[in-house]
Amino acid sequence: MILLDGKKTSADIKEEIALEVRELKNNEHKTPHLAAIIVGNNGASITYVNAKVKACERVGFESTLIRLPEDISEEDLLNEIAILNVDNDIDGFIVQLPLPKHIDEQKVIMAVDPDKDVDGFHPTNVGKMALNLPTFISATPFGILELLDRYQVETSGKHVVVLGRSHIVGSPMSILLSQKRKVGNATVTMCHSRTKNLKEITLQADIIVTAIGIPEFLKADMVKNNVTVIDVGITRLADPSKKSGFRLVGDVAFNEVAEKSEFITPVPGGVGPMTIAMLLKNTLLACKRKK
């Protein structure tokens, strides 16, 4: 069993990005600049955005954090996005999700300039991704592709089963892995809450990507030997034995599934760290496009 170490791989990617940034600066090119908008006081969102700011500092990017109140109107938020769209110093920006219930998330996503949409959520970028055209691939699927590539996990001709059909992970992963690309050329089955005979399907899989948010859902009796498992889920479970009072688990019953796996991602430390690294990679791409 080989652990797909997202923590180490993301650190390697950040080093590569930092080297490119130094070269850009030596050639008197502008420094990549990532901005983030966060609305309200969601603890997980604040932690995540702060990690993005810290990652920007590590690789030599400039970063801007715009914190807005929970009760901001949709119109005022759209005005903030419009300002970033026309700011030539900002190469890319994100609007941290989820947003308060009174704001239409889709309207916000649509308002972001596709050329600055480093999250890869705008329909223009999703469409380009589906057509296998150069674009920003959203960070989590992009990170999964990178992990599979760097660990030389063969996908061509393999049967991939994707659990979950979200627009952020499941749906784009099913498209990307079926495309004619280096990490692709797979036969993909996408499963979801209405799928019947799920165990029969997962037992056929050479590679399983699970992003359903149900803790330890995928058990050893649902996978065949030498499977590759990519666990995107992360759930906090109460655990009195831990100092924090909780433990983080994925969608996979890790200890039992790992025994049957050829490759597997841990939780935490697998897909999660890759997400920020690929957001930085998209921002660098946005900056270089201007050149």
Q: Any idea which residues carry the catalytic annotation?
A: 52, 96, 119
Alpha-carbon span 28 to 131, nearest angstrom: 35
| Contact yes or no for 287/252 (Cβ under 8 A) | no
| Contact yes or no for 129/168 (Cβ under 8 A) | no
Provide the angle, in degrees to the nearest 10, between the axes of the packed helices 123-130 and 170-178: 30
φ, ψ (nearest 5 deg) of residue 126: -65, -40
Alpha-carbon span 192 to 209, nearest angstrom: 12
Q: Give the bridge partners for 57, in sequence order.
A: none
Alpha-carbon span 200 to 210, nearest angstrom: 16
Q: Which two tokens stand for residue 98?
A: 């989820």
Please list, residue by residue across 102-137, b when 16 or more beta carbons sit within 10 angstroms of its beta carbon and e when fewer do.
ebeeeebbebbbbbbbbbbbbebbbebbeeeeebbb
Other Cβ atoms less than 10 A from the Cβ of 201: the count is 17
Cα dihedral across residues 86, 129, 269, 236: positive or negative: positive
According to DSSP, residue 68 is labeled: E
Q: In what order do the strands lie in the sheet with 159-163?
A: 2-3, 261-264, 227-231, 207-210, 159-163, 187-191
Alpha-carbon span 155 to 171, nearest angstrom: 17
